[in-house]
Chain A
């Protein structure tokens, strides 16, 4: 039965109705195609100064040159290592705190007043302090990246823990679980898929701090390359750096989405 034609809407304009994978792909390509085309036209038409706005093709050419002749791959690996080390440390610290603070009022009320305000302090404002305390070495960069995410990570993981169904915990207790078992086998296990979601989102934030960490007193890394390019007004190289960060961010996001999808089949969208 087809509804009268004047009531029919273009797919994607019905309230809350999802669109098929073809529609998803098509619209995504449309958006990127228009963006790149607009950029290209802006650059080649002479509307914008091509030195300050190189075309997408020139950015790709610069990227190929960076990787092929200038050893940019090593810089990318340095940045990747910084993200993995600092973010890994942040997760290792935040996970037990978020679990305990979400499950029990004592650690929550002890630590949350301390941790919560730090979320409002921009991590870059710690740069002068970190330079004095840790010097200009690797530790200073790792510390900045760590400070950029740790406060949010703890509070978000705490909220994830708090959202665990109380009924599940009580069920476990009536089945004979002691406190430790209830905490680890039920609370932690139950919140795990949402922990992965939070970690994925905070990883994106970590990438956004990368350039800030590598602007100050850095000789290697994607950010340092971009600062060198700025001095030589190589906008194409700066843009290539931005592009690489974006792609790496997307890839790490996709990996964590894959982990979420593969490890928690019961918690995929729409499963109850």
Chain B
């Protein structure tokens, strides 16, 4: 804990960082969330999952949403994607209210959701096909998206022939093929092993850099959030509401080497403080009985 004392506060932005975020906020707002709330009714009463959420996501911004389990992260992204209806507030995409799911908001799920009966290329062409677009132009586009996620050699493979990381890359390509205004990602790398996950994060940043896309990314992994995001929306549980919106001072392009930079650590430390308050740390007050008589002591 002593090292922490020497870290700067992430809010003490250098002029360069302050300028970066001033510019970010001058961009057009792609997604605007206004007074969003969601209550679930059950026989035992009602549960407020989300309450009074207000935030904007700017064009080409990479925003992460983080919070303890049960803080309503998933409910939030399900509402944004249109799979659930909010009980209060509204959702504006490019200034227009949206209801229900639509191709203007792409979604990548944590579970593997490629259609198993379609090849990689057919999966990527699914969205355009639903919109009634067919033909060689669509196929050509699909090939480009597949190339972008580095899977050109697999365009005729079926999902069962791909690894978990490859499946998620196809899922990203499939969502992008609709040319959505925003890409919503619900812990997309949560089921992957640590190495693949790190690779996927770098892939994602590259894709984001190369195309005009805004990303809202849900995670419960502090490092993932700090590595990826421009800004991090920290949610508080019961009821789910915004705790703080953190402007990540770590410069881009990001690399894993930055994980020991002071601004990286300061940001991570701040999120950690927010989502694991001091009083909740340290074994959570559970008394564990000693069950060994052996002599060798452990610290």
The chain A residues found within 8 Å of chain B, CB to CB, are 165, 167-168, 170-178, 181, 185-186, 189-190, 192, 264-267, 271-272
Contacts and interface: CB of A to CB of B under 8 A. Distances in A.
A171 B160 contact: no
Contacts of B83: 170, 173-174
A168 B115 contact: yes
A190 B175 CA distance: 20
B111 interface: yes
B115 to A, nearest CB: 6
For the complex of A and B, the 8 pairs showing the least CB-CB separation, nearest first, are A176-B103, A174-B107, A171-B113, A175-B127, A173-B101, A271-B160, A176-B130, A177-B130
A272 B82 contact: no
B267 interface: no
Interface residues of B, number: 26
B126 A170 contact: no
Contact of B178 (A165, A175, A189, A267): A175
A175 to B, nearest CB: 4
Interface string B93-112: 00000000111011101010
B21 interface: no
Contacts of B150: none
Given A167-B109, A173-B83, A267-B117, 9 more contacts: A165-B113, A170-B83, A172-B130, A174-B82, A174-B107, A176-B102, A189-B115, A190-B117, A264-B117
8 contacts: A168-B115, A170-B101, A171-B109, A172-B115, A175-B127, A175-B174, A190-B117, A266-B117
B116 interface: yes
A194 B102 CA distance: 29
Contacts, number: 70
Interface string B111-129: 1010111000000001100
A172 B103 CA distance: 10
B117 A170 contact: no
Interface in B75-104: 81-83, 101-103
A175 B126 contact: yes
Contacts of B107: 170-171, 174
Interface of B: 81-83, 101-103, 105-107, 109, 111, 113, 115-117, 126-127, 130-131, 158-160, 174-175, 178, 184
A14 B36 CA distance: 57
A178 B129 CA distance: 12
Contacts of A177: 126, 130
A176 B127 contact: yes
A223 to B, nearest CB: 40
A186 B115 contact: yes
Given A175-B103, A176-B103, A272-B160, A170 B109 contact: yes
B81 A266 contact: no
Contacts of B105: 174
B159 to A, nearest CB: 7
B158 A266 contact: yes
B51 to A, nearest CB: 24
B178 A176 contact: yes
Contact of B101 (A174, A267, A271): A174
A174 B113 CA distance: 12
Nearest to B174: A175
B126 A189 contact: no
Contacts of B158: 265-266
Contacts of A170: 83, 101, 107, 109, 113
Contacts of A174: 81-83, 101-103, 105-107, 175, 184
A170 to B, nearest CB: 5
A95 to B, nearest CB: 18
Contact of B113 (A167, A267, A271): A167
A111 B101 CA distance: 30
A192 B126 CA distance: 18
Contacts of B178: 175-176
- The residue among A175, A177, A185, A265 with the most chain B CB atoms within 10 A of its own CB is A175
Given A168-B113, A168-B115, A190-B115, A175 B130 contact: yes
B120 to A, nearest CB: 12
Contact of B159 (A176, A186, A266): A266
Given A265-B158, A266-B159, A271-B160, A172 B117 contact: no
| Of listed A165, A174, A190, residue having the most chain B CB within 10 A | A174
